A = this chain, B = another copy of it.
Amino acid sequence: MNSDVFPAVAAEAAERLAAYWRALAAAELPVVPPGAPGTTLKALPETAPEQGEELTEILNDTWSTIVPQLVHWQHPGFLGYYPTNNSPASVLAELVTAGLGVQGMMWSTSPAATELEQRVCDWLALALALPEHFTHASGHGGGVIQDSASSAVLVALVAALNRASDGRWRQHGTEGRHRVYCTDQANSCVPKAARVAGVGEPVLVPTLHGTLTMDPVALAQRIDADRAAGLVPAAVVATVGTTSTCAIDPIHEIGPVCRERGTWLHVDAAYAGSAALCPELRCGHDGLEHADSYAVNAHKWMRTGTPCDVLWVADRHALTDAMSAAPSYLRNRATDSGTVVDFKDWQIPLGRPMRALKLWYVLRAHGLEGLRTVIRHDVRLAELLAELVENEPGFHLVAHALGLVVFRRSSDEQTHELAARLADEPGLLCTPTTVDGRPALRAAVGSPYADEAGIRRAWGVIRAHAHAAC
């Protein structure tokens, strides 16, 4: 392939993307595509072409075949799940990262990729006011970019299992004795990580009545009982901003429970962690000095495209003792010298792209003040939406925190009916959940194009469906 054609076709792609973003901003596209399962499959040939095709043709097909069957996650009417937002700075960085095409598994395989990652993880730790020992500069811990909060919690559990077994885990595995603790409000990635790590289902710690947050007294009792029974309480996973309702486990109470018992505390702040860029929204960070690890998805609410989860550990050796591998074909002087960070020993995969460029571009292009403005803007829009819900007869506000508003109708049947109607609504995406055993709907603000008019429009659609239903 001749790379001379690249600048022109890349410029064309950039123009198409800018036009796509303008269409999203103007809400000219539906949020959810119309096609039934199989629509895209049918549009694609059953075998790969034998001969090469022109890039412009592939670009055309992208817009004619793929784009119309996407859910537009950046759309202002996208209120589902939690946001996965991006920005021109992030997209530009992805282009440059892909074009440079380096692999940063070790310091020696691309020094700047590793050192840039150390630096931007430190930048973000300072910006979020994390305890100093989470920075690389402290010499104790450090940050590393993972693909997801799922991988971050798995990596944390593995480090915890190794620490809890005094290294016996590396040779002999979990042996059925290790336990992991969380509540039933933890994201599904937490029990999944426990299973993947060979621990089986985690122990579910009761939540405090009404708050859906972990009961620290019950946690202490359960850990002590398990230890008395000969089990090994390896790790507690607390959540700052649960998926269902953005509930915040009391780290300041859970932290001492874990610290006194030598149990690893991982804090999953995948969504709400970004809000800590704003001092007044730094909820749930009290007690973080007791945490062994902490993770935030920059790709959720920090204008950085997915994947970009940042995991910090308080003690880097606790992590690398569990994750390191040093086969002869990876030996190099820098590693042997012990003076460098090899991120392969901070994650599951051996190889990795240059992960930090994207976060560097975003932090610089927006500036911390720019990112704070984004978050405060979305929080205000969520306040508006919560107000609209509260003032609407027949609607009940179930939860409201940061950019998330959870609501239901007066009866479960009505809520189910509204959810069913909204599932057929192309102009809006709200997603369901269950709170205290009852159905509810979630609306999470976070599109780069979110504004008051869009929120009022979305609310109008929700309200109209509710009224049409009863």
Interface residues of A in 8-40 (CB under 8 A from B): 9-11, 13-18, 20-22, 33, 35, 37-40
Main secondary structure of the interface of A (DSSP, over half): helix
A112 touches B188 (CB 8 A): no
Complex CA–CA separation, A200 to B2 (angstroms): 48
Interface residues of A in 86-140 (CB under 8 A from B): 86-92, 94-103, 107-113, 115-116, 118-120, 122-124, 126-127, 137
Q: How far is the CB of A26 from chain B (nearest CB, A)?
A: 13
A70 touches B329 (CB 8 A): no
Q: Which residues of B contact A434 (CB under 8 A)?
A: 328-329
Complex CA–CA separation, A201 to B162 (angstroms): 13
Interface residues of A in 376-400 (CB under 8 A from B): none
Complex CA–CA separation, A363 to B48 (angstroms): 7
A351 touches B53 (CB 8 A): no
Q: How far is the CB of A366 from chain B (nearest CB, A)?
A: 5
Complex CA–CA separation, A158 to B71 (angstroms): 30
Q: Which residues of B contact A329 (CB under 8 A)?
A: 81, 243-244, 431-434, 442
Whose C-beta in chain B lies nearest to the C-beta of A176? Answer: B175
A426 within 8 A of B: no
Q: List 26 A-B contacts (CB under 8 A).
A: A1-B365, A3-B22, A5-B88, A6-B88, A6-B91, A7-B18, A13-B99, A14-B14, A17-B95, A37-B107, A46-B122, A46-B137, A49-B367, A51-B369, A65-B112, A70-B110, A71-B111, A73-B102, A94-B95, A94-B97, A150-B349, A169-B195, A171-B200, A172-B200, A174-B176, A189-B325
Whose C-beta in chain B lies nearest to the C-beta of A358? Answer: B98
Contact with B along A59-81 (1 / 0, CB 8 A): 10010011111111110000011
Sorted nearest first, the 3 A-B pairs with minimum C-beta distance are: A198-B198, A17-B99, A94-B98
A405 within 8 A of B: no
Among the listed stretches A222-230, A332-340, A455-463, which one makes contact with chain B, having 4 or more residues with CB under 8 Å of it? A332-340
B13 touches A95 (CB 8 A): yes
> A98 with B102: in contact, given A364-B58, A367-B50, A367-B51 (CB under 8 Å)?
no
